Amino acid sequence: MKVFFKVLVAIQLCVFLSLISNAQDTTLVRIETKDGNEYLGTIVSENDQTIVLKTETLGEIFIQKMNIKHREVINAKQIVKGQVWFENPQSTRYFWAPNGYGLKKGEGYYQNIYVFWNQFSVGITDNFSLGGGILPLFLLGGGPTPIFITPKVSIPISKDKWNLGAGALIGTVLGEDFGSFGIVYGLSTFGSPDRNLTIGLGYGFFDGEWAERPLINVSGMIRASKRMYFLTENYYINAGGEGGAVLGIGGRWLIKRASIDAIIAIPVGSGFDTTILFPLIGFVLPFGNSK
């Protein structure tokens, strides 16, 4: 009986080691070379100078390490319809509104909307980011220039399913004699970085006076393809007993590491007798350790 158990344990150990070996052998790696080519496969062997990569279409190829620009391990979830879908490089925000996901330490991005909206943000820790921005209206004949900062805290409740966030936009206007303006908000995001819905609540303030009623935000994001997302960003506010909303629908197109966002804003409410469409276009460039 003891011999039987020893043999059984030995068989289980061999199977376990085989599974580990197979898992290691089938780890997908994406390699981008300095000449712009990309290769996806498993590493057969490597030394200080060369990597032997087994690809599906080209078989085994030899790549000199000195020619490698970027190398990363690919999660199996990133393979969709035979293509590598990169992780969402702009998972922390919609067109303008933030969500519950946060920048990792060292990640950052710069956003520009119609030249005049200039904003950046960088991850100080994995759960706290800090940013700032400027509207350089001084370019238009020396007008007053708004500047602002944007601290944000992100709290993951359930990985890739539920995130909480809180933050603020706090600004002032250079060249004007008044205190500050901005908004303090809290929000909850349901879903993954590629497919989610956010519900947020914020209170605005201006020159020491707080709004009596909150601003409500409902935004969403759905990935449609390797490089395209559908976005919706919507706001509702009740001021002075009259409610009004701004509805927004648009998309995001990934171009390498950067992205172009475009959205149509539609104001609705008792003060609008006709439908007005405001097209908005933004450009976002990640920096630092951004994916």
Q: Does pTM top 0.85 for this prediction?
A: no
- Model confidence over 113-124: pLDDT tens digits? 988 899 999 999
- Residues (pLDDT < 50) of the chain are 1-25
pLDDT tens digits, residue range 10-41?
A: 444 443 344 334 444 457 888 889 888 888 88
Q: Residue 82 in 3-state DSSP?
A: coil
Domains by residue range for the chain, with CATH: 2-80 (2.30.30.100), 107-288 (2.40.160.40)
Q: What are phi and psi of 135, to 5 degrees?
A: -110, 100
Q: Could you read off the pLDDT of 77-128 as tens digits, one per residue?
A: 667 766 677 778 789 999 999 999 999 999 999 999 988 899 999 999 999 9
Q: Write out the DSSP string of 32-74.
A: EETTS-EEEEEEEEE-SSEEEEEETTTEEEEEEGGGEEEEEEE
